[in-house]
Amino acid sequence: MFVKHGMNSQFTLLGSAKHCMLASSAVFRRQQFLIRTLGGYTDQNHLKRMQQTKAMSGTAFEADSENILRAITPNLDPSKHKGQAGKIAVIGGCREYTGAPYFAAISALKIGADLSHVFCTKDAASVIKSYSPELIVHPILEESYSIRDEDKPSISGKVLAEVNKWMERFDCLVVGPGLGRDPFLLDCVREIMKHARQSNVPIVIDGDGLFLVTDNLDLVSDYPLAVLTPNVNEYKRLVEKVLNCKVDDHDAHEQLLSLAKGIGSVTILRKEKSDLISDGETVKSVSIYGSPRRCGGQGDILSGRQFIYLYYSIFFFTCVAVFLSWARQRLSAAEGDLPISKINPTVLGCIAGSALMRKAASLAFQNKKRSTLTSDIIECLGKSLEDICPAI
């Protein structure tokens, strides 16, 4: 049953008995509640919510995200060569999921990384290549359906050898977008992660990568260059596995701190209305208002009291990967002379990635409103960063 409404989102009821019955129904009451809650998505309401979020963000935990962005974003220098602004590798992409690894990889370039690689299955490679010639695509991963059991050990060895040829060139590895849950594929990725850890390469993990890690915590335990970026359900699984309890939203900061400590030396970015970040030593939040729009490729929405929580997943963690790489380079070159020198670079990367992602979503929504797509947000990444850190 549908109820028509005007431009001001107020319902117009006719005086018939039929509409009176509708007005008294539970369905109608729920519709009225939603309209009062959301208040319509006009420019004025969007600005008001941004101001409200800014006012609520003035807590002891709130990160100084814009200054962190300025501190770690490298200047454009004509004397630098290709690759010095970041080389990111995405491990993901199978026959069912080709959009996720593309969004992740292209986002790295849109932010300002120089090179972006995708290691995917052969079925996904040609599709991902067709999306953009800017990406370096390696069709080396395999799924169980395409190989015989007796061939699995040799194929696994070939996959690992191919990735290892490139491993030391990467500034960060992104594991999870469009990965799927094929057992053989996950076994190969498990070995890739072990070798990345041996090579001291940072690893940002999301999606099906978190599914793998939750069942194999030794992959990231006590590895300070590992970053986990769980959404609400992934966070719940981690809390239940590591802390053996339920998620506590009333003491979210302390529970996140305990979770990071429990896993050991990792950094966790919990995607929420305000993103929470902890490396087991400190907790920071990013509360910049993003967008009320949900579109495929951004993640999931959790409805709550008078809010819609927007979780960015597919390319959110690529932002973290790029900024983590830049933070490590900046801190290495500064030799302790910066105000941010005492902050863990993984935490810096999470703060910067969260802030930029939210700003880009807000800008895209201002431009496109209900028609906002993931690609619109990606196109706003560069403009959002330029507003904070002008290239020239």
Which segments are annotated as binding site?
178, 231-237, 271-275, 290-300
Give the residue among 231, 238, 198 at the shortest CA–CA distance from 215. Answer: 238
Residue spans of alpha helices (H) in the chain: 17-23, 26-38, 43-56, 65-72, 99-111, 122-131, 152-167, 183-198, 208-214, 232-242, 252-263, 316-334, 345-368, 374-379, 381-388
120 in Cβ contact with 188 (< 8 Å): no
Question: Letter for the amino acid at 120?
Answer: C
Residues 6+ apart with CB under 8 A from 179: 91, 92, 93, 94, 97, 185, 186, 189, 207, 208, 209, 212
DSSP secondary structure string, 191-255? HHHHHHHHTT--EEE-THHHHHHHT-GGGTTT-TTEEE---HHHHHHHHHHHTSS---GGGHHHH
Scanning the structure block, which residue is given the tokens 């006009």? 42
DSSP secondary structure string, 279-325? -SS-EEEE-----S---TTS--EEEETTEEEE---TTHHHHHHHHHH
d(CA 84, CA 334): 16
46 in Cβ contact with 267 (< 8 Å): no
Give backbone dihedrals phi and psi of 182, rounded to 5 degrees, phi first. Answer: -65, 130
For residue 45, give both structure tokens: 């309401």
Annotated binding-site members for ATP: 271-275, 290-299
Annotated binding-site members for (6S)-NADPHX: 178, 231-237, 300
Provide the angle, in degrees to the nearest 10, between the axes of the packed helices 345-368 and 43-56.
160
Scanning the structure block, which residue is given the tokens 């990568």? 209
Scanning the structure block, which residue is given the tokens 């209305």? 273
For residue 153, the SS3 value is helix
